[in-house]
A = this chain, B = another copy of it.
C-alpha cells in the first residue's frame, strides 16, 4: 500500500510519514503542489493526503487537475481553517474526506484506512469453492473455516485453479504459470502437486480429465 503525502509543513509531514510507515504503508512525501501534481499523475497511489495551503500550486488546484486527468485515488484533505466554505470547495473538487487542523495523528491514520477500505471495497478478495476459501489479499487458505498450511508451489497452483474455477486447465498451462515459462517435458511435478493439494483439501476438489488437464469443482460433500 503506497500513500502520497503533500504537505509543506516539514514537521507535520514527518509526523504523518512516520505514523503511516509504522502502520505499514510505503510513503512518499513531497512539499509543494508542483511535485505533488506530477507524482500523482505519474505514479499510482492507494491514497493521497493533501494539504490545501501549498507553495507553487494550491492544493485545490492540484486535486482538480488530478480529477481532470481521471485519477481517482482517494484523497484526504487537510486544512488549517475549518470553514464551511472551504469544506464545500474541497469536496466539490473531488476530495473524499476532510480533516481540519489541529488533528490527532491517529485520526489521520484512521481516516486514510477508512478511505482505502472503501476504495478497495469493489474487488472481492476471497474466492471460494465448496468448503475451501482462498483470500487473495493475504493468501490464506481455509478448509471448512480452519486454515491450511500450503507451500509456495501448492499456493501458486491453487491460486491459478481458483481464478479459473470450473475450467479445465492443461498441465502445460499450469507449469507455465507456476514456473517462469521454462519447464521439463518429462517430469511429474504437476501430478505430485495435485496429489498434495488433494491430500490437504479433499480428494474430490480437483477433478482430472485424462489427456486434457485438471478442473476445480465443488465437491459433493460426504
Tell me the A residues contacting B by CB distance below 8 Å: 9, 11-12, 15, 18, 21-24, 26, 64, 67, 70, 72, 74, 80, 91-97, 101-102, 104-107, 110, 118-119, 122-125, 136, 138-140, 149, 151-153, 155-156, 159-160, 163-164, 167-168, 176-177, 181, 209-212
Contacts and interface: CB of A to CB of B under 8 A. Distances in A.
A163 B125 CA distance: 20
Given A22-B163, A67-B15, A176-B26, A106 B91 contact: no
B138 A123 contact: no
Nearest to A21: B177
A122 B106 contact: yes
Given A26-B177, A97-B102, A122-B104, A139 B212 contact: yes
29 contacts: A11-B92, A11-B94, A15-B67, A21-B156, A21-B177, A22-B136, A22-B159, A23-B163, A24-B160, A24-B177, A26-B176, A26-B181, A72-B104, A72-B105, A72-B106, A80-B91, A91-B102, A104-B118, A104-B119, A106-B123, A106-B125, A107-B122, A138-B167, A138-B168, A139-B168, A139-B212, A149-B209, A153-B211, A155-B212
